[in-house]
Structure formats: structure tokens, C-alpha cells
Amino acid sequence: MKITREYPGLVEDTWCFRFTGSIESEGSIEIDLGDKWLVLAGSLKASQGIEAGWGIEASQGIEAGWGIEASQGIKAGGGIKAGWGIEASQGIEAGWGIKAGWGIKAGGDIEAGGGIKAGWGIEAGGGIEAGLFVRCKQVLTFKFYLFAGVATWKRATGDEMIIEAKRVDGEVKYGTVRLLVLL
């Protein structure tokens, strides 16, 4: 499925195209709106991949069976989930959790109200902030600071404050680091 300026129901705004519902596809979703974001009042779901020429924002959540990629940012009021990887040249932000079967990479910050989990590595050009844990099986890299377990909606304890990786490249300001020994 390809979403262009002519997609039924899109309303052009100054910096984006707005859509009042949710968009789902049994295949891939390609978003080509020039230099404008796609902003949905609902969710964005694809059984395969999601690729945006600019940015994506969904009030509920964003989910893809394969990967999610945006040349700008990715933002969801709910969670962001991909079977493979999640990548944005700017930031990635979720009101709840961020989960990728492979890796998570952002040119800017990575922020989640809940946990952040990747099957491989996590890389942020800025900082990382998670209401709960941050977990990956390989290298966790970030330029500025990492805060884990800073939920404002509950008191994070124990495993909810864990930063788990084979190696952590950056300064941890809050949370408990647990380095993995993988054979």
C-alpha cells in the first residue's frame, strides 16, 4: 500500500497530513508525502514493513511485522513494535514501549514511557529515556545520557530499572547496569 497526498481522508496541515482513523495493510506501507509527516488519530499497522519518506506519528501505536523506517522521526502515543528493526534519522518516541526483534537506531533521542527492548543492539545519536527497563543482546550506544526506571506513573523497582546489554557505550545516569556474557 502506498500513501500519497491523494490518499482518501488525508487533510493537509502546515507540517503534516492528518488522518482521523487508523491505517492497516496486509502487506507493506510506503508513505510518500514529500516533506510532511503522516499524523494519525488511530494506529498504523502493516503485516510487512513501514517506510516513511519523512516522519510518522500515531496517537495509538505503530506496528510492523518486518521493519519501521522514517527519514525523520517516529512517534506513537501507544507502543512501537517491529519484527525486525526500527530506524529514524531523528528521534523515536513512544508513550508506552518500544520493541524490535533486531535493532533500534535513532539519529536523536529514544524515549519510551515503558520499556525499550531489542533482540540485537540499540543506538541513539542523543540520549535514551525509559520509564522502565532498557534491554538488548549486544551493544547499547548513545551520545548523551541514559535513564531507565524513571516512570512517573508507578514506582519502578528491581528488574524494571535494569539496563541490560553485552556492552554499554555512554553514561548511565539512572538505572542498574547488568552486562550480559553471551557464549
Specify burial of residue 172 (Cβ count, 10 A radius: 0-12, 13-18, 19+): middle
Domain ranges of the chain: 1-90, 100-183
Cα–Cα distance for residue pair 165/141, rounded to 1 Å: 10
Q: Show the cell assigned to 37.
A: 509527516
Q: pLDDT in tens for each of the 183 residues of the chain? A: 999 999 999 999 999 999 999 999 999 999 999 999 999 999 999 999 999 999 999 999 999 999 999 999 999 999 999 999 999 999 999 999 999 999 999 999 999 999 999 999 999 999 999 999 999 999 999 999 999 999 999 999 999 999 999 999 999 999 999 999 966
* pTM of the predicted protein model: 0.96
* Spatial separation of the C-alpha atoms in residues 41 and 117, rounded to whole Å: 25
- Give the pairing type, strands 44-46 and 23-25: parallel
